[in-house]
Structure 1
Amino acid sequence: MTEEAVAGEAVTDEEPAGEAVAGLELTVVARDRVATEVVALTLGRPDGGELPGWTPGAHVDLELGPGLVRQYSLCGDPEERTTMRIAVQREPAGRGGSRLAHERLTVGATVRVHGPRNTFPLVAARRYLFVAGGVGITPIRPMVAAADAAGADWRLVYGGRSRATMAFATTLRQRYGGRVSLYPQDETGLLDLAAVLAGPDVGTVYCCGPESLVTAVEEHCRGWPPGCLHVERFAPRDDGRPATTIDGDGGPAGTTDDGGPATAFEVELALSGRTVTVPPGTSILRAVEEAGVPVLSSCRQGTCGTCETPVLAGVPEHRDSLLGAAERAAGDVMLICVSRARTPRLVLEL
């Protein structure tokens, strides 16, 4: 999952890191089918104790198996501190995470959870336009509730293949009435984004959904003032760069941002006292793992932020689809699953 173009203050405080950094062993306390191939899972401590706080747009990382970590947006109520709710869409063509979640995470099952983390925060605004596609409704749902509670002027435009595939569509419409516009593709066709995104006066736009939707929304909002559009994506941004060499992680590592050849560089691991060489065609993440230093990671495509690592020295070459322009310019964090170095040496907090 990725987010960009964020500006302004969050509507609520950031969630504390606390014990969530090391992960929590949580139990599935409830499971509900909320759409075709979508189940909502309610997670809680075995002892019923309090969980770390979170804000709209946050997600958690679930360890679904050895080396298999997946992110899911929190779609419940941040005020409910003893449970967390996520929704998982089964993806037959996916990499296996959703299948395992559907098959193994039954009521009573346990799963290790990391987070919450928020790379898609809701900023304060007087007017919002929320655009969701398919399971992209999950981070948007608590944003809608927060905007409504704050008394903001807002509207939700929600599209999907059919009504049966659109999670939470009925409850959203029942609760908020005409502020929620549903567009099942088999009934209405594709979203008319030209009409929906008529101009910046529609408000601060939040969009989450399939890459085709996110890309189209970005195109319609091109030229709008900074901070008008916030998106979260589930796949790497298709920015028209030439194809790159792919290492075993699935991350582009064969060329630089300007299309030139990648070169080897050194990475000093400040916490581990190790220095590793990262050759062309190999990601930092892979090199660090092969050196025996464990790093929590998931997508290995530069979209989820799980492997985000502080940079203590050196200049990173950002190749992710998550960090915004200001974060890239600051150069104090990087996603080591795809990004490389512009200097011969990096020092990372690993």
Structure 2
Amino acid sequence: MRPLPPSGRRLLNQVFTIPEILYGESGSAVTIIGHLRLHRGRKLQKLKLYQFMLDHLILPQTRLGAAWRVLFWSVLIGCIAMLIRSAAYTHFYPEIAAEQGRSLVLLAFALGAGISLPLVTIFFSMALRLTRAMSKLKDIATHDCLTGLLNRNAFEDAVRARQGELMRDGEHEDAILVIDIDHFKSINDRNGHAAGDQVLRMASVCIAGNAFERDFVARIGGEEFAVLLKNCGPNGAAMAAERIRNALSESKTQFEGMDLQITASVGGALFPRGAEYHTTYRSADNALYRAKRNGRNRCDFNGLPLSPTIGDTVSDNASSRSTAR
């Protein structure tokens, strides 16, 4: 193997942040162990540090947080003024510093803190307003304004973040559900778009209410919703899909004295960790359209048909709840 010159070693050490490189006796690179991170990794770590400092030292989230920051920075500026004044008098006027040292130090602290207090208060009051405005903008950018669920972009970001997580021992596969309200266009045509909006809000409550808090629920467009079921496995995914479909078929809402009732078709696909999101989504979408072609108001899983026992179990539970009511 051709020896690696010293310049080559320096280049490797500059390019990689953690280059666990072993060199042989002849100076050639024998192997590279572990993950070699590029400069991008170091830059990301710096950005995270800056973000942490910005969130905890600069940008307050509440009024109490703003008050603590005002107090902290005023005291800090007073201490800096005190140190500067003490060092200056000690260097230029040692006699005055020896006679009036403590008084000068306290005066410097009081002047520094007193002058900075109103300025720091104004700064953090503006920072608090900025933080609240940023929070509202983030909420608008990530949530559907009609239903309050995640929008499509936020849902895809959440799925990507989930893909980056390591699968622990004992965890099951995730699953993606795609839910479409049956004959939604006819509701808009007969009753108007305001009635359609009421139906979408009702459907969002039903879907989110029948998913776990750990799951992600989103309205991804029109009358179509998506759910990422985390750690559910095949049986859990099938039961969750049937539970959501059953809740939607049993729900009713009123609009201008009219009772509106809907049904929905559900398509699903298992989403193993590391799988491609768009491929899995298309698989669930294909299952959804199979459910529509087969009569609507049903669930269909791509490669995992809903077993009759699961459907019967959910139907029996729904019947028992209706009898109890």
What interval of TM-score do these two structures reach, taking the shorter chain for normalisation?
under 0.3
Q: What is the TM-score with the length of structure 1 in the denominator?
A: 0.20
Q: Whose RCO is larger (CA < 8 A, sep 6+)?
A: 1
Instruction: Give TM-score, length-normalised by structure 2.
Output: 0.21
Which structure is larger by alpha-carbon Rg, 1 or 2?
A: 2
More helix by share: 2
